Amino acid sequence: MIDCGLTNRVVLVTGGSGGIGAAVCRAFARQGARVAVHHLAAEPAAPSGTQWEHITPPTRAAEALADELGGAAVAADLSAPDAAHRLLDDVEKALGPVAVLVNNAAHCENPDGIDDLTADGLERNYRVNAIAPALLTSELARRATPDGPPCIVNITTDAARAFPGQIGYGTSKAALEALTRASALDLGPRGIRVNAVAPGPVQTGWMSSDLVAQVEPMVPLRRVGEPADIADAAVFLASHQARWITGQVLQVAGGHAL
């Protein structure tokens, strides 16, 4: 058995109430971590002609998961300018200082092709997918103490290099990968590690059986991903075993999009 060194450490998972986020919460809890399940209390309605391409579980889902894991549910709208400060304050009050930050929450909408871009749509993507993780990373670094530097794991996408038809989403995730590398260089001298996991196509309920059958031949390992595949990688990057790894984007995709 390997001791990941996560026992009693406080882990904040943004977008933690469902899908990959919930799997990440459970994976850290199995290692003895104290998990803060971030969620969006009330999602605004999509503008006319726009459709949200993500599912926001209700508050009760976050609360039920936090109860299951012995952690805490914390609500915040990550598109708000003061969200990072408020969210970390709330987690510290509930569980203590954050030792591991998993920036998992994401915004995705349609239409998002090059012919459909709007300033508002781009801003919605970037505020959640790039700006919020940057501000959370910065705020967490300011609160760090030399005797226990935190670490950050960002969740991006294996299509961040080029995502046709998803321009706002894809480029904002590419910005998150650039943030991973830049902040790793800035924060390395303080002992703060920053890495990312880039998932391939993961079944969180959004893929029909026909779409799964279409996607599987594109994956060298011949299956779509499961949330646990991503969660295990996030735990590894936060663990003692990854103590000399920083600035890396780990593609967890079964060989998809190599």
Query: Alpha-carbon dihedral of residues 73, 75, 76, 77, nearest 10 degrees?
Result: 120
User: What length is written for the chain?
Assistant: 258
User: What residue type is 110 in one-letter code?
Assistant: N
Instruction: Please say whether the beta carbons of 256 and 201 come within 8 A.
Output: yes
Q: Is the peptide bond before 111 cis (omega within 30 degrees of 0)?
A: yes
Query: Does residue 169 have an active-site annotation?
Result: yes
Q: Which of 28, 126, 163, 169 is catalytic?
A: 169
Catalytic residues, by residue number, are 169
